[in-house]
Amino acid sequence: MTELIAGTSADADGAYKGTVLHDTRSSPLWLKPLEAVSALLMVVITVLLLVGVVSRYVFNQSLVWSDEVVSISFIWLTMLGAAIAVHRNEHLRLGLFVDLLPPRLREFVHAFALVAIAAVLLALIGPAIDYAKDEWFIHTPALDLPNSFRVSSIGFGFAVMLALVVLYAGRSARKADLALAVLLVAVVAGLCWHFSPQLMKLGAANIGFFLIGFAAICLVAGVPIAFCFGVGAVCYLAFTTHVPLTVVIGRMDEGMSSLVLVSVPIFVLLGCILDATGMGKAIVDFLGSLLGHVKAGMSYVLLGSLFIVSGISGSKVSDMATVAPALFPEMKRRGHKPREMVALLATGAAMADTVPPSIVLIVLGAVAGVSIAGLFQAGFVIAMVLLAVLLVLARWKARNEDMHDAKRAPLSLVRRFLLIAAPALVLPFLIRAAVGEGVATATEVSTVAVVYALFVGQVMYGGIGLRKFYDMLVETAALSGVVLLVLGSASAMAWSITQSGVVQQLSTVMTSLPGGWVGFMAVTIVVFVALGCLLEGLPAVLLLAPIMFPIAHKLGINDVHYAMVIVCAMNIGLMMPPIGVGFYIACRIGGAPPDEVIGAIWPYLVALLVGVLIIAAVPGITTMVL
């Protein structure tokens, strides 16, 4: 959510990995207590949210204090999770260009990436401490606690991440490379500081120099995306303005702290439960017994499974990892080629990303101020449009499929699979109905869904051991930390861009494009397809949403309609070779070489693009359910 893609800790054939800090999952002894605390915080958040739901709907009383405890626990979970993710090598970065370098140069670039991460953390620790001191005089309404108890998590998390980076830099990088990288960063910083008065006179040109140039260099060098955004914001504010860096911390705090975002780790946990209990496999087995005997039936099952499973996990990676192992062996037996299977898997996951509960939609709603209930309602319909175009293409591709060995499953077997899958099948529709109809918020529904999944999984699907559950809690903290740290740093960078005045100029240009809203929508699709390739979907949305939505609003475009278009376009870019990270993750999960899948995936991407153009051109498809 990813995904990280929410939920991505992917090593996608070397194409998309976190900056290499450590080569095992074993944690240093001093980090284990932090993992235990993060697991405990995850339990506290889930329990308190559930208690709040019961109190509100059963006893008609609101527990204000519980929201404050959840808010404090949530930001501590985020920062501890981000630190754990640094150790686990789970922060998202673009590794494609680094992997093309000669081994010796790659080692230096690796050292530079570590020094860049350390530099931005070092620059922010002091402002984070100052920010915590300033918040001491602000007290929470119910518990009357200084807000410093909450925001001190930011400085603490930065300090732990810095310690991990320094520790692993000493272990994994050549001393000469580190020394040269430190010298390079120091010289660049010194020159920028020396020429700061001249840089301040350049005005909007600094956006291209710092917020785009420096961030892009770091991105190409393999610096994790969250820290690329941090580099851009810190350098721009430090060298071209008189704005204190505590503003960066404040924007990060605001970007990560919304209670709406608490549903992100809860839905990540729900996806882990789905994988661990086998609920997803039960859905796949049922659809296979129902449709497996018809022409293109297994393709229908794959797409249908992704559509339904996505409504539980909220994570593309979790969806693909659940569906592929259950279906690919049978599809191979029936003569399906691995490249076609992986192509369909990748584009099917892109299609299903708007099915609630989509973590991307939750985060987008929080960042852009769009109704999450409206996004959930429309997302279901939009996913059906994309599903339809993929089904049509799959049927056309299967026109010559040999079905002489395919047999209809006995009705008794279909009934048995339906009985097993029924508790899992109910869940996505309950989530959509509860949020879409305004019965409960996404956060409340996510908590109830986790408890429901745990209960059903324990009773019907074999359950989860305590050790496994603990590991899931820590994994949830790490993956949530990845997503939310990107959100915080993107919020700081987006604020910097907004304050520069460039947005007003961009708004003037975009609103005067030929064709009015149609021209603007076409540019939007191109931009988000491109950024979906480069930044992975979620960072692209986080960075541009605050800038693009006001422009769309001026042109009279419905917010939910616009959100659907950018998410769908972003997902196409995410799965588009040779850069799209989702493409490599799908190849890894499906066990097919990327160079073979490249030729097979383009027809499916074109089909998705046709679907997006239909959605963009016909607003009524989105708005008819609002």
CA–CA separation, 190 vs 195, rounded Å?
Answer: 9
Chain position carrying tokens 């989509």? 358
Position 383 scores a pLDDT of 92
Entry pTM: 0.82
Amino acid at 337: K
Q: Is residue 227 part of a domain?
A: yes
Whether 5 has a pLDDT exceeding 80, the answer reads no
* Segments forming the whole domain that contains residue 197: 94-250
Angle at 349 between CA 472 and CA 536, to 5 degrees: 80
Kindly state whether residues 200 and 299 are assigned to the same domain: no
CA–CA separation, 348 vs 172, rounded Å?
Answer: 38
Q: Is residue 306 part of a domain?
A: yes
Whether 314 has a pLDDT exceeding 70, the answer reads no
Nearest to 435 by CA among 353, 361, 373, 359: 373
Q: Is the dihedral of CA 613, 615, 618, 619 positive or negative?
A: negative
Q: Please count the residues of the chain.
A: 626
Q: Is residue 34 part of a domain?
A: no
Q: Is residue 349 part of a domain?
A: yes
Q: Indicate the residue among 224, 250, 276 that finishes a domain.
A: 250
Beta bridge partners of 5: 2, 3
Whether 553 has a pLDDT exceeding 80, the answer reads yes
Position 26 scores a pLDDT of 55
Q: Is the dihedral of CA 139, 141, 142, 147 positive or negative?
A: negative
Q: Tell me: the pLDDT tens digits for 196-207?
A: 888 888 777 777
The single-letter DSSP state of residue 259 is G
Beta bridge partners of 146: 139
Kindly state whether residues 267 and 242 are assigned to the same domain: no
Backbone φ and ψ of 24, nearest 5°: -140, 170
Q: Is residue 255 part of a domain?
A: no
Q: Is residue 359 part of a domain?
A: yes
Q: What pLDDT band is residue 10 in, cutting at 50, 70 and 90?
A: very low
**Long-range CB pairs of 104-107, under 8 A, 24+ apart, other chains included:** 107/173, 107/174, 107/177
The whole-number average pLDDT for the span 590-595 is: 82
The whole-number average pLDDT for the span 545-570 is: 90
Q: Which two tokens mark 399?
A: 């026109």
Chain position carrying tokens 């022409």? 295
Kindly state whether residues 292 and 238 are assigned to the same domain: no
Q: Is the dihedral of CA 302, 306, 312, 317 positive or negative?
A: positive
Kindly state whether residues 389 and 451 are assigned to the same domain: yes
Query: Alpha carbon 212 to chain centroid distance?
Result: 21
Q: Indicate the residue among 199, 217, 250 that finishes a domain.
A: 250
The whole-number average pLDDT for the span 393-406 is: 77
The whole-number average pLDDT for the span 432-440 is: 71
Number of domains in the chain: 2
Kindly state whether residues 172 and 314 are assigned to the same domain: no
Kindly state whether residues 479 and 364 are assigned to the same domain: yes
Q: Which two tokens mark 405?
A: 């060995």
